[in-house]
Structure 1
Amino acid sequence: MKITVVGGTGLIGSQVVRKLTASGHEALPAALSTGVDLITGKGLREALEGAEVVVNLANSPTFDEKSPDFFRTSMGNLLDAGAEAGVGHQVILSIVGVDRVPRLDYYRAKALQEDLLRQGPTPYSIVRATQFFEFMDAVLSWTSDDDTVRLPATPVQPIAAADVVDAVVEVGVGTPLQGIRNVAGPDVFTLDELGRITLAARADARTVVVDDTAGMFAAVPGDVLTAGPDAHLAPTHYRDWIRTDR
């Protein structure tokens, strides 16, 4: 099967390309570095030629009020080019709870991307994942100083990027869902608890202080970032992963 992986050079995309190729599929990475521009459409027709499936992992360069324009234009161009090329399955990676956090520009933008895909001409699948293990260091950096890290007590259920890759590949080579598959890690933490686990594993002496106004996830209500009962739970535990991640 020929599969074009848009954003195929990033954290998830590069692993998706490798896993698809190892499974015997023809996986073509499409990104700015390979001559494909989702905003102008340059190189898109060539990248989709002969593709049976498009896996769209491209991300907005910003997480602010400009992000909806990125997803509106890129999704529109990709759907039009896919229909012209005869693509039979469009897949995107989204976020668990994305339609329940209207205060965040980026979440509104991803919800828009989902809506455009649903309304498009091609059978589709949406994989919604929780926050990646790999992003925890960035989360700690948002509200930290030399001595203290301030984090809200927001419940989270993080997942390893490698487990997200497995989910995306499984959905991409399968029958279009015409709906959503939620994937998450096996454990629920509060974000401040996850911060303490991370700092301890890094031998970082800073103190985590609960601050329910700190950082992007302070705007997330309740347990929105945790998976529901229908979610597919990945096998990798954060405590096991953090011990080996260096």
Structure 2
Amino acid sequence: MKIVIIGGTGLIGSKTAARLRKQGHEVVAAAPNTGVNTITGEGIAGALAGASVVIDLANSPSFEDKAVLEFFETSGRNLMAAEKTAGIKHHVALSIIGVDRLPDSGYMRAKVAQERIIREAGIPYTIVHSTQFMEFVGGIAQSGTIGDTVRLSSAYVQPIASDDVADNMAAIATAEPINGVVEISGPERIRMNELVARYLKAVGDDRKVTADPDALYFGSRLQEGSLVSDNNPRLGRITFEQWFATSDRK
């Protein structure tokens, strides 16, 4: 089966592609640097020719509210139109658990818009809602840093390793579309400030982490359960300690 991965050269895309190729599928890793651009439309038709499945992992180069919304709306519409022409049988998109609970975040609003385009396109689909990746913990720490202090929300997170995300994306892409949402999470639930404190201690970073219920997470104030799911998500197998022991943490 031919599977096209939009954003196929990135962190999740490259790992998903490797898994699918190992299973014997023909995989096209589509990205601007491979001649496929979902904003301009360049190369999309050629990449989709003969394909059955599209995995959409495209991400905006800018997180500014207007720019990120324009990216996901333009990319989504161009991609869905090309998929209709190509006769794609399953569109799989990666999104975020809690995406509809954080309207103050421009990025989350843009992802909601992307999901709406997918649902209204008439192509069989599966949307995957994931918790935050373990690989992004360092970035979360940086986002809350002022001087030597990291001020973060005490809301819960349930981080998932990118290898677990890729396993799920490959499995979902080769299954039947559900025309709905699948949720995936890491195996351990922990407060955001505690996770970052654990990470900084492990890397030998002496910044002090302070819990602040009013601290914003990329523009949004979090409730305790904003970023986690109690709806029986598929759980990853890799704990934070296991990930840390094998990751280059870049």
Fold agreement, TM-score > 0.5 = yes
Q: Tell me which residue corresponds to 1:52.
A: 52
Secondary structure, counterpart of 1:110 in structure 2: helix
Report the Cα distance in structure 2 between the residues aligned to 1:186 and 1:101, rounded to whole angstroms: 23
Deviation at 1:146, TM superposition (A): 5.1
**CA distances 1:19-78 after superposition (whole Å, capped 9, x unpaired):** 111110000011000111111111110010000000010001122212111111111111
Does structure 1 residue 131 correspond to structure 2 residue 140? no
Matched pairs, number: 246
Change (3 A) 1:221 1:5: same
Q: Tell me which residue corresponds to 1:72.
A: 73
Deviation at 1:4, TM superposition (A): 0.5
1:201–1:243 Cα contact (<8 Å) kept: no
Q: For 1:99-138, what aligned pairs fall within 5 Å after superposition?
A: 99-138=100-139
What code does the residue aligned with 2:114 have? Q
Report the Cα distance in structure 1 between the residues aligned to 2:242 and 2:15, rounded to whole angstroms: 21
The alignment yields a C-alpha RMSD, in angstroms, of 1.3
Q: Tell me which residue corresponds to 1:43.
A: 43
TM-score by length of 2: 0.94
In the TM superposition, structure 1's runs of 4+ consecutive aligned residues that sit over 4 Å from their partners are: none
Which of 146-155 and 18-27 deviates more? 146-155
Deviation at 1:206, TM superposition (A): 1.9
Report the Cα distance in structure 2 between the residues aligned to 1:106 and 1:28, rounded to whole angstroms: 27
Secondary structure, counterpart of 1:27 in structure 2: strand
Deviation at 1:227, TM superposition (A): 1.7
Q: Tell me which residue corresponds to 1:228.
A: 230
Deviation at 1:239, TM superposition (A): 2.3
Q: For 1:201-216, what aligned pairs fall within 5 Å after superposition?
A: 201-216=202-217
Deviation at 1:145, TM superposition (A): 4.5
Does structure 1 residue 32 correspond to structure 2 residue 64? no
Q: For 1:8-27, what aligned pairs fall within 5 Å after superposition?
A: 8-27=8-27
Secondary structure, counterpart of 2:145 in structure 1: coil
1:104–1:219 Cα contact (<8 Å) kept: no
Report the Cα distance in structure 2 between the residues aligned to 1:233 and 1:176, rounded to whole angstroms: 20
Runs of 5+ unmatched residues, structure 1? none
Report the Cα distance in structure 2 between the residues aligned to 1:145 and 1:89, rounded to whole angstroms: 45
Report the Cα distance in structure 2 between the residues aligned to 1:231 and 1:94, rounded to whole angstroms: 14
Q: For 1:140-179, what aligned pairs fall within 5 Å after superposition?
A: 140-145=141-146, 147-179=148-180
Change (3 A) 1:73 1:173: same
